[in-house]
Amino acid sequence: MQDFEAFLAPAKINLFLHIVGQRSDGYHLLQTVFRLLDYYDTIHIKINHSGTIKRVNDVPNVPETEDLCVRAALLLQKHTKCQLGADILVEKRIPMGGGLGGGSSDAATVLLALNQRWQLNLPREELLKLGLQLGADVPFFIYGTNAWAEGVGEELQTLTLHDAYYVVLTPNVHVSTAQIFANKQLTKDTIPKTIAAFSEIAQLSTENSAGKNIHDGFINQLEKVVCSIYPEVKACLDWLKQFGDARMTGSGASVFLEVANAETANRIYQQKPTTYVGFVAKGLNQHPFTK
């Protein structure tokens, strides 16, 4: 891939996810903590002078016109009236549709990379607003650190998290996010929590090497609904829960378990049923692009 430059796009997990309301336009108001993981897609970019934006490889089940990487580049180009273009090659590792933020992370990485390589030098705040036009999770990846999030996910505050490792598993099922949020059993009026309360519980959990009750009182409220509709997710979660306080991330289908060290994570991962794909990752404190 001569003349292409590689940029990393990290996965994320939601350490908890509460729905605290709903806007008049239908968007749900939430509270969550986003955590970056050192498990990546890689976005390869080559700048061109023709002004064309194109993806140069196939991505299964993602037409080029719907690819968030392409949409991100076109949005930035239109916003800045930039005359330069880009060839984009997307190397996927993060499971798609699993609640791990792969597509959003890819789009954020494209915005960050092209803002620099096109020498646009837009401030981070401007990129955050552009990212929100692509999806509610995109601003987090542009933000660059682990974060407490509110609103639809775009109101972000930096959060310091302790070092931890994660076993992440994805069952062979696609969860419809729209179906889950439309489910009448979903609680949508949870009393808002505070960062201080989360931080206090998270601090107590640093001594817990077994991954049990990592954030007591902070749950993923979508999890119960997803498990009631998708038995594959419930079975995967139940298997992982034998080792500690496993959680679902986002709207699923991926689930994760926090543990204290790589040895524990790898030992658990090596026992996983062959029907699940997954990985072991360490939590990051900062997006690799912003270092």
Q: Which residues are catalytic?
A: 12, 137
Question: Please, are residues 92 and 55 in contact by the beta-carbon 8 Å criterion?
Answer: no
How far is Cα of residue 38 from the mean position of the Cα atoms in its chain? 12
Q: Kindly report the length of the chain.
A: 291
Nearest to 265 by CA among 280, 253, 254: 280
∠ CA 239-244-245, nearest 5°, is 95
Q: Report the half-sphere exposure of 24 (CA within 13 A, side-chain side).
A: 0
Looking at the DSSP assignment, which residues form a beta bridge with residue 146? none
**C-alpha–C-alpha distance, residues 164 and 145, integer Å:** 15
Exposure string over 246-278, b if 16+ CB within 10 A, otherwise e: bbbbbbbbbbbbbbbeeebbeebbeeeeeebeb
How close are the terminal C-alpha atoms of the chain, in Å? Answer: 25
**C-alpha–C-alpha distance, residues 180 and 22, integer Å:** 14
**Structure token digits, residue 206:** 């640093």
Query: What DSSP state is assigned to residue 204?
Result: H
